[in-house]
Structures are given as C-alpha cells and as structure tokens.
Structure 1
Amino acid sequence: MHPLDDLRHATVTVVGAGQAGLSAAHHLRLRGFVAAEGSAVSGSGSGSRSGSGSGPGPGPGSADTAPTFVVVDAGEAPGGAWQHRWESLRMATVNGIFDLPGMALPPVDESEPSRVAVPRYFTAYEEAEQLRVHRPVQVTRVDAVDDDPAGLLRVESDAGTWTTSALVNATGTWDEPVLPDVPGASSFTGRQLHTREYVSAAEFAGRRVAVVGGGISAVQLLDEISRVATTLWYTRREPVFLDHDFTSGSDGVDVERRVAEDAAAGRLPGSIVSYTGLIWTGYAREAARRGVLERRPMFTAMGPRHVVEADGSTTSVDAVLWATGFRPSVGHLDGLDLRGPLGGVPLVGTRAARDRRVHLIGFGPSQSTVGANRAGRAAVRELARDLLGRDG
C-alpha cells in the first residue's frame, strides 16, 4: 500500500519539496495548519501532529477540525533538484543558497559537492520542522471537482486521488529541460546530453565538445570541460558580462521588477541570465584567460559527426552539451486552463490570475532561493486570508 492510499482530503496541498515548497510548509505550520494524516500515511519527517484523517471530513476552519496541509514530492529523497546537480559543482561555486526560513544553513566545507551538502540540509530541515513530506509521489493532473470557482480541486497522482481546497505548486523546472529543435540533430551519431544528465568532465577527456547556451551553467561547464577536452561555445546572442553583482542595489530591484512584470502578464519566463547578464566570477575569468570563452554564433544544423556553422562551414564535434535551461514543470495543471494568450501562466502575486485556489511559487520572479522563501510566505498569507479569514 502506498503511503497516501488512505488520504483523501487536505485543506492545502503543496506539490514539490524544494526551497519554495519547504518555505510554504513552514509558514502553513506557523499559521496553524497541521499535517494531514491517514491510517496509512508515512513520510520522511517525524511529525506526529494529528490532522483530519482520511476522507473529506468537515470543511476548512470548522469548529471540530484544524485546517490541514500535505506536502508531496516526486523525488526519492529530500533535496529537490540539488540532489541531481553534477558531481563537480562545489559549495564554493554554486549560484547562491539562501537559508530556509527558521533554520540557517550550517557551516559547510566549500569543497563539498552541493549535491551532498544541500540535500543534507534539506533533510535536517524536514526533520526539525516535523514536515511529513510524502515521497515519491508524482502528481499527474489537477482539475476542478465541479464548476464552482470556490469549490474543491481534485489532485490525481500515482499515489491515488484526493481533494483539496487550495494548491501550492512548487514543482520547479528540473523535469522540463529545454532542447532546441536543430535540423539534423537526430542524425548526429556522437553524444548529446542536457546539463541535467552531466556528471563530470572526465567522460569527455580528449574529445571535441560543443557547449550550447549563454547562462551560468554553460560558463561553469566550459571552464571545467575545457581542462580535459577541446570545447566550442555556441550561443544565440552575444553574452553580456557584468563587473558587479546584479543582486544588490538598483540593478537587483530592476531585475525583480522586470521578471514580475513578465509573470503578471503571462509571458513565458526567460532564464535568469536573460534578465541579469553574467557575472565575472573567478571561474569565468579563468576560462577567459585560457581563451575558452570565444563565443560562436549558434550553428544552423547538425550532421553525423559535425555541426554546420552560421557561415555554412562545418566543424567536427564528438559531443554536444545542451546548457539550454529549463521551463516550468506545470503540465499537470493544464486541466485548470491557467495559461494566458502569451503561453505562460499570468500571476497576481503568487496566485494564478485565472484561479485563485492555485499559487505558483519558485516560478517566474521567485525562481531564486531567496525569492522562493518570500513566495512561500506570501502564498500562505493569502491562503490564510482566503480559507481562514486571517490576515497579518
């Protein structure tokens, strides 16, 4: 029997237990929501607080029951996407980790792999907060139970189906890698992989590797792979490097404003770097010093062992590494018709503009770890007001 087989209702369902989902769970507990339990429920946390039991039960906020929440996560273990990062990504070179609310990140060895250090922190956090995260649970579809815009939502998963009054979607982007459609890509007989599949540079030793993408991951991997292989860097646009940190001062405020405007309008969110530019980090400067950051325009086609350059010439390559980013993992929400005419999900704060029962966090302007924390708090503040009549 799966841990969620007997659980059939929770006032709030949180889908995803990365930074954003854990922040939401923390703030739900602070506002009096308790972990929903059924007779067969178990999870990674040690929480023992009682909830509504199985079955829909009384509505949220009624006299004889506390409002409940459940957190489900598709991963086998705590850590979100961090547990899948490439082996050589060390704590000294990750692009910022912000403390989870209520528990600071303990001192770590900067040489330790992030795929080890961050999941360990998330595991400790779930235990300390007594968050009963149920995993692995893959949510496949969410839709409305009936035509009442304030009615219940039905959440379908490989653990069964249950109802909820509100949904906090914190599924991130890891499961939706972007792979450009390049003519001839299927004929390429070398190796093609996305950054989500990358492990270490050793697998490319002595090869000719095309690295495609203009973001932080592309620059990190160019620096790393170029130490053991010949690398060629391709981007659609000329990369823009900055001499200062965009996260501070007026630049950071402007970035947040522009990302929030796109999210509110329902435009498909771009990569963070498309808003910020690249920073001249230590590894970027080292790569530039070695002549690695010589950017080529994006190739126009691929052959069995070559790419076709923008000028029509061909260049032989043994492997293509697509550092081309990710898109939000929100396909399971398509039954709610949340998308606007521009292809994205328009937001009002964290709430889907087309359905106030649904909040999306770790999405658009809250993709960063600090943004995810804020979004978790903001979503729960609105949920407490909508479901319980509590403000503040």
Structure 2
Amino acid sequence: MTHTAQVVVIGGGQAGLAVGYHLRRQGVDFVILDAQTTPGGAWQHAWDSLRLFSPAACSSLPGRLMPPQTGETYPDAQHVVEYLVDYEKRYELPVERPVRVLGVYRDGPLLRVDTDSGTWQACAVISATGTWWRPFLPAVPGRGAFGGRLLHTVEYRRPQDFAGRRVIVVGGGNSGAQIAADLAYETQMTWVTQRPPRFLADDIDGRVLFDAATARRRALDEGRTDTGGVASLGDIVAVPPVREARNRGLLKASRVFTRLVPGGVEWADGTRAEAEAIIWCTGFRPALSHLAPLQLRGRRGHIATSGTRAVDEPRLHLLGYGDWTVPASATLIGVGRPAREAAREIAGLLA
C-alpha cells in the first residue's frame, strides 16, 4: 500500500517530536514513522541510573517545559520518557509505530520511503534516527580470545547484574564516568580511559555546555577565533552520583589496555588484569543505513549538509545528530532551534 504526505519524518524520539511540533505550526501535512513499539525514543532503553546533565526546565523541547522530578535536580531517564510520552500526546503528533524504514529513494519529483508496512511518497524527508542504534566498538586485538562478557553502553542496565564481579569500564566521557560510578560500590571495577579524565567544575551543567557549543558555532560562522567550545571545558559533567564516587576516590582511571587476553586484558608493558566483563562506553555513529540508496556519503562517510539540509539532496534534512549538523542538536535543549529552522525551510520548499 502506498501512502502520501508532504513530509515524512523518520524517527519518533526527541528530534522527531521537536520537528513535528514545528511542522504542525507551519501548517504542513506530515507523518512521523517510528521503529519503536512505544514512545520515548532511545531514553526508554537507557541504564537505570542515567541522569540528565541539566535541570528539567533546561532540558525541554519546544512549546512545553519539562516538569521537575520530585526530589531530583537532574531527572532520570524514566522521567524523560514520561515527558516525551506526554509531549507526543499533548500536541497530537501523527506518529505511526512500529514502522521500520528500509530505504529512501528518489522517485521523480518526490522521495519514496519504503517501510516494512508499506510505502510513503513525500515532497521532503527528515531523518531523525539519532545514534543510539549504532553503537561503536573499537577493534582491539584478542577480542576472540577473551572468553568473558563484552557489552556496549546500550546493553548495560544496573550494577546488580555484575555484583561481586571483576568489571572493566572503557571510556572517559559522560557515559563511562556515570557507569563507572554506578559500578564502583558493588563490583571490582576498573575504569580505563584514553587520557586522564577531565571533570568539569561542579557548577557546570548542560546549560553551560549548550551555551559554549552555541558560542563556538557562532564564532566559526563569523570567522572569529575558535573558542574551543565544550571541549575546552572538560569531558565529564559531575552529576551527583559521579561527584560522590569521585570524592570518595572511587573514580581513578588507568590508561586503556592494548589487547584482550583469555580472562582479562593486557597493557603494553605486559601488565595484566583479570576481568569477567568489559563494558565499552565508546560512543556511537549516526544511524543512516536507510539513506544509503540516495548515495549521498562523501569519501569520509559523511553526508554533506548546510545546517540540517543535505547539500546534494535539498529535499532531505538530517536532524539530531550533534555537531555534524548543528551544535548540541543531539540534546533535548539543543534540538529545538534546528528543528524550527528545518521546518521553516521545508515549508518554504513546499510553497
């Protein structure tokens, strides 16, 4: 069966909902296709103790402030899910789920979106699939010989699953620090990072990071000196659980090992450590396999964009993938502005 809409949005997480809000305000006919069975985007799959970096009021999508979570300055993932469920319902956004998009194709003056439940034809497509669905695992020698449990951030849930075991957490970003702090009390945890961890000052949270990213982009666009943005401040936001574990001396990181060996890991000098599980907090890549038929990737694998618009296919916008498209656009607070601009540009295209 073939369906039609002026705009097809692929992904019903925070980016898809934000752009849906602005498309509605522009009077555009659109549909949001979400592969998940329930609302909440990637947040519904996060580990139990995950915390936002900013207070609720500073972690909101356009048009609706996130209410505070009782007893918490920094809301947890379940609170975010509840907010997104309410947001979708409040604005009566036309989300269809579960619908898995298989590919996007040029079809004369239209774009064709093939799914596992039919085909859509649209004048424009917005890809808002994020990165959670494409975890990155580095190639490390000896992986096949290890014999223990290897998992990525996306598979971690709670410290009780590893109680009393020897666990190595790899990664010096926020995910690595939060999961290391989570495991520091109930496991024999070792934290390893590429470089010494850089904790931000305790009074810095997501609001400051958003302002820093925005100022850097503005400086670069205006030809001024690069301010360094978020990277100039540090890598890890000291949310309360991380701060507490750090202050107790439980977050002392070692340099990352060079290879895996049976039952553990080995460093370049031959030192070894036993491990029953390794959790790789090593980031993500954009989930864009559905756009492969458009053949837009350059030599480095990126799709060239101007803002959120694909340079070589002006009917396609990419939203919510971070600095690649717009600074901080992979965050709740940061996705609103590029969502508004994308909706305006598409409305102009349709006009």
Q: Conserved in 1, the CA contact under 8 Å of 2:304 and 2:311?
A: yes
Change (3 A) 1:320 1:207: same
Alignment of 1:88 with 2:49, yes or no, is yes
- Does the residue aligned with 1:356 lie in a helix, a strand or coil? strand
Q: Conserved in 1, the CA contact under 8 Å of 2:152 and 2:279?
A: yes
Give the equivalent residue in structure 2 for 1:173: 131
Once the two structures are TM-superposed, the CA of residue 363 in structure 1 deviates from its matched residue by 1.3
Change (3 A) 1:310 1:325: same
TM-score between the two structures when normalised by the length of structure 2: 0.87
Give the equivalent residue in structure 1 for 2:6: 11
Change (3 A) 1:337 1:218: same
Change (3 A) 1:335 1:363: same
Report matched runs for 1:1-392 at 5 Å: 6-33=1-28, 68-89=29-50, 93-96=51-54, 98-110=59-71, 114-146=76-108, 151-243=109-201, 244-245=203-204, 252-256=210-214, 277-364=235-322, 365=327, 366-388=329-351
Give the equivalent residue in structure 2 for 1:37: none
Unaligned runs of 5+ in 2: 222-229
Mapped partners of 1:186, 1:386: distance in 2:
51
Q: Partner letter of residue 139 of structure 2?
A: D
Once the two structures are TM-superposed, the CA of residue 106 in structure 1 deviates from its matched residue by 2.6
Change (3 A) 1:246 1:338: farther
Give the equivalent residue in structure 2 for 1:56: none
Unaligned runs of 5+ in 1: 1-5, 34-67, 264-271
Q: Conserved in 2, the CA contact under 8 Å of 1:255 and 1:275?
A: no
Once the two structures are TM-superposed, the CA of residue 11 in structure 1 deviates from its matched residue by 0.8
Q: Partner letter of residue 17 of structure 2?
A: L
Task: Tell me the alpha carbon deviations over residues 162-217 of structure 1, each in whole angstroms, 9 at most, x when there is no partner.
Answer: 21110111101111011111111122211111111111101111111100011111
Mapped partners of 1:297, 1:26: distance in 2:
45
- Does the residue aligned with 2:316 lie in a helix, a strand or coil? strand
Once the two structures are TM-superposed, the CA of residue 230 in structure 1 deviates from its matched residue by 1.2
Task: Tell me the alpha carbon deviations over residues 118-145 of structure 1, each in whole angstroms, 9 at most, x when there is no partner.
Answer: 2222222222211121001111111211
Equivalences, count: 333
Q: Partner letter of residue 163 of structure 1?
A: Q
Once the two structures are TM-superposed, the CA of residue 113 in structure 1 deviates from its matched residue by 7.7
Q: Conserved in 2, the CA contact under 8 Å of 1:24 and 1:379?
A: yes
Change (3 A) 1:124 1:247: closer
Once the two structures are TM-superposed, the CA of residue 28 in structure 1 deviates from its matched residue by 0.9
Change (3 A) 1:136 1:380: same
Mapped partners of 1:299, 1:171: distance in 2:
33
Task: Tell me the alpha carbon deviations over residues 84-108 of structure 1, each in whole angstroms, 9 at most, x when there is no partner.
Answer: 111233xxx3223522222222332
> Larger Rg: 1 or 2?
1
Change (3 A) 1:331 1:252: same
Percent identical: 42
TM-score between the two structures when normalised by the length of structure 1: 0.79
Q: Conserved in 1, the CA contact under 8 Å of 2:32 and 2:95?
A: yes
Once the two structures are TM-superposed, the CA of residue 386 in structure 1 deviates from its matched residue by 1.1
Once the two structures are TM-superposed, the CA of residue 257 in structure 1 deviates from its matched residue by 5.7
